[in-house]
Amino acid sequence: MELEKAKTIANEVVTKLAPYCQRIEVAGSIRRQKPVVRDVDIVLVPYDLWYLPQAVAALGPCFINGDKLKRINYRGVQVDLYYATPLTWATLLLIRTGSKENNIRLATLAKKQGWHLAASGDGLFNEHGQRVAGDSEESIYEALGLPWQEPWERG
């Protein structure tokens, strides 16, 4: 679908879920400003665990209903909701923004240093298992010795 339609769908979902979230942001190819978008990716940190599930259920049929990912069909569009915590927010937003090639590049650079970039969103860990970055997207780039890239520069 075209970017503008995807943005409209994403904004509708964010508006409906935001009252129940500490943080919520559109990720994926929409955040990267790709002209053609396959689905809508949203990263959120729940705030109201009582009403959020009801708000998600009201969006449409749910095809994946896990603790960290809910995949729903909202007005005929696949919407993936990625559940983060305050600790995992920045890394999960980075990874779910992509691109796949950028994620591979970051993970490969980490691995060359004996480090690990956790796809779960837990952060960037050194060879001793200590978290060295992940409080912000910028911190991961900095720890890997890379200049910061805006989402639309990530491929």
pLDDT for 19-77, tens place per residue? Answer: 999 999 999 999 999 999 999 999 999 999 899 999 999 999 999 999 899 999 999 99
Report the share of the chain in percent with pLDDT over 90: 96
Q: Any idea which residue has 């780039």 for tokens? A: 141
Position 68 scores a pLDDT of 93
Share of the chain above pLDDT 70, in %: 100
The verdict on pTM exceeding 0.85 is yes
Asked if residue 99 has a cis previous peptide bond (ω within 30° of 0), the answer is yes
For the cut 90, the answer to whether the pLDDT of residue 15 exceeds it is: yes
Model pLDDT for residues 62-86, shown as the tens digit of each residue = 999 998 999 999 999 999 999 999 9
Residue 107: pLDDT above 90? yes
**Residue 10 is encoded by which pair of tokens?**
């994403």
pLDDT at position 39 is 97
pLDDT number for residue 3: 98
* Confidence (pLDDT) at 24: 98
Helices (H), the chain: 3-17, 28-31, 52-59, 89-97, 100-112, 137-143
State the pLDDT at residue 155. Answer: 82
Mean of pLDDT over the chain:
97
Domains annotated on the chain, with CATH: 3-83 (3.30.460.10), 89-153 (3.30.210.10)
